Amino acid sequence: MADALIEFRNVNHIYGKGTQQEWDALIDVSVSIRPGEFVAVLGHNGSGKSTLAKHANALLLPSSGCVLVDGMDTRDEETVWDIRQRVGMVFQNPDNQLVATTVEEDVAFGPENLGVPSPEIRRRVDEALLAVDMLEYRLHSPHQLSGGQKQRVAIAGMIAMRPKCIVLDEPTAMLDPVGRQEVMQTVRRLNEEENITVLHITHYMDEAIFADRILVMESGRIALEGTPAQVFSQVDTLYKLQLDVPQMTALAHRLNKRGFSLPADTLTVDELVNQLCQ
């Protein structure tokens, strides 16, 4: 597909290749991510989500097959820089990503490396910190922050790079409910207003509701793919894949088992309220 921003073509990834501990983490994965798309990736522990994500900016290279970012092959060493500029990444544990002595230096690190002029850096840093509600911590050391605060700084650091695509690997796992909401709103706004492509890996089914498309991984393969309504209405299949459905979908499903007839693709509180109060 020519208009894909990221294209995985028959990607295999084997960890520990040639050792006694070979592990097939991705098996013949083909999928393309379109510019401006919001894609959520679900799947049980060890199903290959992080491995997939790390292929999107050449942190990992396919054992066979290829990954194209904006048409550039990640195996081509000369493109790594261009690829990392286009695809920003936030990991499960931000501890390993925060490097500078203050929060604002940390956020400035990316744009500085890109050669962005200083006044512009200042503006981007403030904007990014404001977006994650961490502006008042800009002079703190990242190491003194709590887990959730670190996650927000890591996200700010990525936003300041103005990438075309952001890959978030469980960015909200350590956040309080309001923090999670803020991050998800931030990510959605970046997607909708700035047209930034989003690849969002999560174990919170509720965070996948807003995606354009959901990919469900299982043992290194994409087992299920579709819109949130299409995917989450397959309640029993998801349970079999050790996953869950959004709380409101689960409740509607249970009520239906008791003889009511609510739409199987109910996803949000508002939808369920409206259906119940009809």
Partner 1 sequence: MSITVENLSYVYLPDTPMQKQALFDVSVHIDDKEFVGIIGHTGSGKSTLIQHFNGLVKPTSGRVLVDGVDLTQKGVNLRAIRRKVGMVFQYPEHQLFGETVFEDVAFGPKNSGVPDAALEDRVREGLAMVDLDLDVLRERSPFELSGGQKRRVAIAGVLAMKPAILILDEPTAGLDPRGRDEILSQVQSLYQAWDLTVILVTHSMEDIARMAKRLIVMDHGRIALDGTPQDVFSNADKLRSMGLGVPQVTTLIHELHRRGLVQRRDIFTLDEAESEITRVLELKRHGNA
Ligand X SMILES: Nc1ncnc2c1ncn2[C@@H]1O[C@H](COP(=O)(O)OP(=O)(O)OP(=O)(O)O)[C@@H](O)[C@H]1O
Query: Which residues, in sequence order, are CB contacts of 258 under 8 Å at separation 6+?
Result: none
> Which residue in the set 24, 28, 212, 244 belongs to the binding site for partner 1 (CB under 8 A)?
244
Query: How far does the chain reach from its first CA to its final CA, in angstroms?
Result: 44
Q: In whole angstroms, what separates CA 135 from the centre of its chain?
A: 23
Among the listed ranges 4-12, 15-23, 28-36, 118-126, the one in contact with partner 1 (CB under 8 A) is 15-23
* Under rule CB under 8 A, residue 36 binds partner 1: no
Asked if 198 contacts 183 with a C-beta cutoff of 8 angstroms, the reply is: no
37: nearest Cα among 224, 203, 227, 229: 227
Nearer to ligand X, 49 or 124 (CB): 49
Query: How many residues lie near ligand X (CB under 6 A)?
Result: 18
* Under rule CB under 8 A, residue 43 binds partner 1: yes
Q: Which residues bind Mg ion (CB under 5 A)?
A: 49-50
* Under rule CB under 6 A, residue 51 binds ligand X: yes
> Which residue in the set 55, 180, 200, 213 belongs to the binding site for partner 1 (CB under 8 A)?
180
Partner residues linked to 48 by β-bridges: none
Question: Least CB distance from residue 164 to partner 1, whole Å?
Answer: 26
Residue type, 113: N
Question: Least CB distance from residue 6 to partner 1, whole Å?
Answer: 21
The angle formed by the CA atoms of residues 151, 191 and 125, to the nearest 5 degrees, is: 50
Question: Would you call 79 helix, strand, or coil by DSSP?
Answer: helix
Residue 263: both structure tokens together: 């739409």
* Interface residues toward partner 1, by CB under 8 A: 15-16, 21, 43-46, 50, 92-93, 95, 140-141, 144-149, 170, 173-180, 203, 205-206, 242-244, 247-248, 250-251, 254-255, 258, 260, 269, 272-273, 276-277
